[in-house]
Structure formats: structure tokens, C-alpha cells
Structure 1
Amino acid sequence: MIDPRGNQYAHHPPPQGPYGPYVPYRPYVPGRAGEARRYAAVFVDLVLAVTLGLLVANALGKDAGPDGTPMGGRATGAAVGTLIGFSFINQTLLTWACGASLGKLLARIRVVRATDGTRPGPFRLAWRWLAGLCWLPLQPYYWLRSWILLFTGGSAKGTVGDNEDGELYEDICGVRQVRRKDLRPYGEHGGHGGHGGYAPSR
């Protein structure tokens, strides 16, 4: 038997609902935003973080320490700490609250879970931020895992540990960057509490 969407049922007909055959829920997940748009968002976020760090370093560098020497070491440490702190707030907390970092908001990008198109939760976003921060040192791990998946026939499933080859903007940690206009409104197409669109993460 074939359902209204063309699915073949091998043994039993689909269960009947009040409006006809029950159609299994399929989450809507938009395709990735274009590379130019994604890199523009990264550039804006990087410029903001570096600028804020330099401003902090410049402010501290003008003062002198107790012995009269410039506070160069403290200024450098404060600049690095400011850069990392701003990056975490921007990429994790702001993205959790608004669905995107400052750069992504300007580029009209939103982040969604690659499995169901819902908004990622704070744990996934924090993991994604750490993966980006440690992306270069983790390359040997990504290389090894890609070969293991190749020989075992495994594939990415949108989990936190996903991303076969470690490409930074290819759904790493199961988080996908999509165009804002490709998102469906929350609750559109109904099923399962309205998770067909850009619903909050469960």
C-alpha cells in the first residue's frame, strides 16, 4: 500500500487518523547558507572580537605598574581574555538567545540543528564553540575519524560529535548555518508540537 506521499508500506496499511492515513513526521531542515555569506559572518565576528581585545590592551598598556614599568604582560593577557570571553558570549550565549551571533545576524544567517531544524541548546552551542576554538589542533583526530568512518561505512547523524572530516562550517557538532529566509515559521506544517519550523530546542 502507498501513502499520500508515495511511501510504500510492505506489510500493513498506515494507521488511520481523523483526516485520513497517518503520515510519518519528517522534520524540515534548510540547506546550508552560501559560503560567501558564512565567511562574511565569520569575518565580522572576528573583527569585533579582535577590536575589543585591542581596545582593552590599549587601555591597560597606557598605565604603569607599581614599579613604573608598562603593564605589557597584563595588557596582553587581558586582551586575549577579552577576545575569548567575547567570542564565547557572542557564539554561545547570544546565539542561544537570538539564534545567531552578531556577524550572523548582519549576514541574515541563523543556526539550526542539522537533524531537525530546531534551535540548538546551550550545551550544543558551547561544544560547537570549543570545536571551532580547537579546530586546528583537532585535525589529526578528524583525519583519523574520517578514515574509520570510511572503512566502517559510518556517517554523520547530526549529533554533537558529528562532522566526518572536521570541516569547520559543514554542520560541525550537528549545527548548521542556514539563511534566515529559508526558515519556516514556528508551528508551520503542524506535527509534533510545531517542530516543523524554527522551534526552540527540546
Structure 2
Amino acid sequence: MGKSGPVYERPFPPQQPSPQGPPPPHPYQPHPYQGAPQPSQGAPQPSQGAPHPYAPQPAAQSPYAPPAAAARIPDEARPLRRWGALLLDGLLALTAAYVALNSADHAGLPALQTCYAVAGAGFGLSFLNQVLLTRIAGASLGKFAVRTRVIRETDASRPRLPRLFRRWLGGYLFIVIWIIAACFELEDDPEDFCGVRLVRYKDLRALVPAYGR
């Protein structure tokens, strides 16, 4: 075969750079992102409870948001209705006291026992009418007659027994202040002192339909 030797033993000539630029990449060359280094086992990993940096943040409440709707409280009834209810409830208590007085006279009771009977009948009927009945039905008999109801000033709900008892007791202890306040349209009456208000039943049902009475 001569001095040249076998053809497969000849060295290939060095490739010369192409004048057209670098050769195109091999179609099966690995993607540059596939060979990215993986985090080592000892490297600190982010905690699972930490929020994602691109997670949506909760919207902050605007300082110009409208306030919550306040409770709708009816206006106080006119003085004529209030005095009418007071007069009717007072007549009921006086009627009970008068019946007790006649019964004590017919029974021939001593004067002290007669006073106890009259006071017990008058105050007892007044307590049942203006405290217990108002707690159950929302008004006394006199207030039912003039179409009014007793509510709390803050939320228009029905007052509870302790508040109604203070109002009933304040009506006797501050009767003079009540009369002066009603005459001069002041705010220092027993109802305002105890946080209750006498309103018309019509206004109450118009503003608070769920009142249920």
C-alpha cells in the first residue's frame, strides 16, 4: 500500500473556521436551564409557612370607607302622650288603693294595717303594671291606651327588669324633677336617667319592623 499507510490511520486535517460564522448548535445539545445546579442538602430551605414573595396581599381598608349604619331610634313621644299614659297608670294605682281602703274599713282594721293595705295595693298594682307588664308586653296599660311603647335609647330593644325597676322607682323619687323637666323641656327626667325612651308605637314599627310587638 506504499508509504502512505492505511487510509484510516491518516490524521484528519484541522478544521478551518468558516467564513460564515460559528456553526449552528447541535439539535440535541442540552438546554442551558436543564443543567442548573440543584441546592445542596445542607442549604437552608424556605419554611413552608412563609408567604410567597409574589402572593397577593390583602387589600387594606380604605380610611374613607363609610361607617356602619347606626341603629334607627324613633323620636320621643310628645308630652301630651306621656302625660296621658302617666295619668291613666296613676288612676289605676289610685283605684287599687281606694278599693283596699274600703275593704279595710269594712273589715274594721286598725289604722296602721289600713295604711299597709292601701300602700300595698297601690304600689303593688303600679309595680305589676309598669315593671312586669312593660317587660312582657313593652308597655303598661296606660301606655297601651295612648299607643306608646318603652324602648332602650341605644338599640330600641325592650328594657330588662333592673332598668324598668329603676325607672319605676325613679318616677316616685324624682316626681318633682320630672314635672319641672317636662314643663321646661329639659333632659333630666327618670326615663333619660335610666336610658329608656317612650315612643309612639307607629314610629317604632315604621323604623324597626322586626320589633315584633
TM-score by length of 2: 0.60
Other-structure match for 1:166: 188
Aligned residue identity for 1:27: A
Contiguous gaps of at least 5 residues in structure 2 = 1-60, 178-185
Partner Cα separation in structure 1 for residue 144 and residue 193 of structure 2: 19
Partner Cα separation in structure 2 for residue 133 and residue 46 of structure 1: 11
SS of residue matched to 1:177: strand
Other-structure match for 2:135: 96
Aligned residue identity for 2:193: I
Matched, 1:31 2:63: no
Other-structure match for 2:211: 198
SS of residue matched to 2:92: helix
- 100, 105, 115: which one aligns with 2:154: 115
Shift of 1:174: 0.6
Runs of 4+ in 1 over 4 A off after TM superposition: 185-188
Larger radius of gyration: 2
CA distance 1:136–1:39, shift in 2 (3 Å):
closer
- 30, 47, 53: which one aligns with 2:91: 47
Contact 1:61 1:72 in 2 (8 A): no
Partner Cα separation in structure 2 for residue 187 and residue 179 of structure 1: 12
Mapping 1:58-137, distance limit 5 Å: 58-64=102-108, 70-136=109-175
CA distance 1:73–1:94, shift in 2 (3 Å):
same
CA distance 1:182–1:126, shift in 2 (3 Å):
same
Partner Cα separation in structure 2 for residue 99 and residue 175 of structure 1: 12
Shift of 1:136: 4.6
Partner Cα separation in structure 2 for residue 86 and residue 107 of structure 1: 19
SS of residue matched to 1:112: strand
Partner Cα separation in structure 2 for residue 33 and residue 78 of structure 1: 35
SS of residue matched to 1:115: coil
Shift of 1:121: 1.1
CA distance 1:30–1:125, shift in 2 (3 Å):
same
Shift of 1:104: 0.2
Matched, 1:57 2:73: no
Contact 2:152 2:158 in 1 (8 A): yes
**Count, aligned residues:** 145
Contact 1:58 1:75 in 2 (8 A): no
Contact 2:143 2:149 in 1 (8 A): yes
Q: CA RMSD in A?
A: 2.7
Contact 2:167 2:190 in 1 (8 A): no
Matched, 1:12 2:63: yes
Contact 1:43 1:103 in 2 (8 A): yes
TM-score by length of 1: 0.63
Shift of 1:166: 2.8
CA distance 1:39–1:187, shift in 2 (3 Å):
closer
Other-structure match for 1:179: 200
Aligned residue identity for 1:102: L
